[in-house]
Amino acid sequence: MKTKILGLLIALLPLLATSQENPTGKETPYIEVVGQGEMEIVPDQIYISFTLKERFEGKKKIELEDQEKEMKKKLMKLEIDLNDLQLADAASDFIKIKRKKPDVIASKDYLLKVSTTGTLARVFELLDEINAFNADIQRVDHSEIKKFRKEVKMLAVQEAKEKAGYLLSAIGEMVGKPLFIQERESYDEFQPMRKSAMMPMMAMDAAVQEEALPELSFQKIKLKYSVFARFAIK
């Protein structure tokens, strides 16, 4: 008998919980919407990749170490922090190879971070001067990208509630508390200006360059996020 009573109580538990959540026994009416948030930001971190290689000028071999010293001196003249220069391949063992095989032409891949397109143009000019190879813009970013992503997601949730509100107002209803919010697939978009787009600027006549020309800029990074939301109808 006790076993039967216990089994009956267990069976009734879900019904009791449902009746407490919704005493009337009716389903909560709701509305489902998708909200989107967007923001465009100007990148303040531009990463340039390039390579230095040992080479011959006539019979004279231009050592890699000498090229690197020259590059660093020129970067310092541009007031670039050398802490923003790093090896693209931290595990490079070019020195070991060079010692074992003196005839091997050693090379090093670098990654340099700059913050403006003005500095970017001057760096590309410098890299041409020192005969660097494969100079290109690897990627762009922003130092506060995480903060901006959070803000855009908040905008998406706010937009979802606003959308639910004006849709319900068309039928004389009001939006209630959120019942469910789910982040959907999101992405960042950016198309950096390539080196080829900067060459005309660097090749301009010196007299023209002295004029106060507006600084070139990258296309902005576009952050776009969406959320799926369900709101109760009051």
- Distance between CA 224 and CA 36 in Å, rounded? 7
Give helix then strand counts, H and E, for the chain.
Answer: 7, 10
Q: How confident is the model at residue 14 (pLDDT cuts 50, 70, 90)?
A: very low
184 vs 35, more confident: 35
Domain with CATH 3.30.70 in the chain: 45-141
Average pLDDT, the chain: 80
Domain with CATH 3.30.110.170 in the chain: 25-42+143-206+220-234
Per 3-state DSSP, what percentage of the chain is helix, strand, and coil (rounded to 5)? 40, 30, 30
* Architecture of domain 25-42+143-206+220-234 in this structure: 2-Layer Sandwich (3.30)
Rounded to two decimals, the pTM is 0.68
With 0-12 CB in 10 A as exposed, 13-18 as middle and 19+ as buried, what is 112? buried
The CATH number that domain 45-141 falls under is 3.30.70
Residue type, 118: G
* pLDDT, position 133: 93
Segment among 34-38, 90-94, 162-166 with least mean pLDDT:
90-94
For 124, the token pair is 């590309």
- Distance between CA 92 and CA 53 in Å, rounded? 13
Segment among 143-147, 194-198, 228-232 with least mean pLDDT:
194-198
- Residues 184-211 have pLDDT tens digits of 877 677 655 544 445 444 444 444 444 4
Segment among 15-24, 181-190, 225-234 with least mean pLDDT:
15-24
Query: What is the Rg, in whole angstroms, of the alpha carbon atoms belonging to the chain?
Result: 31
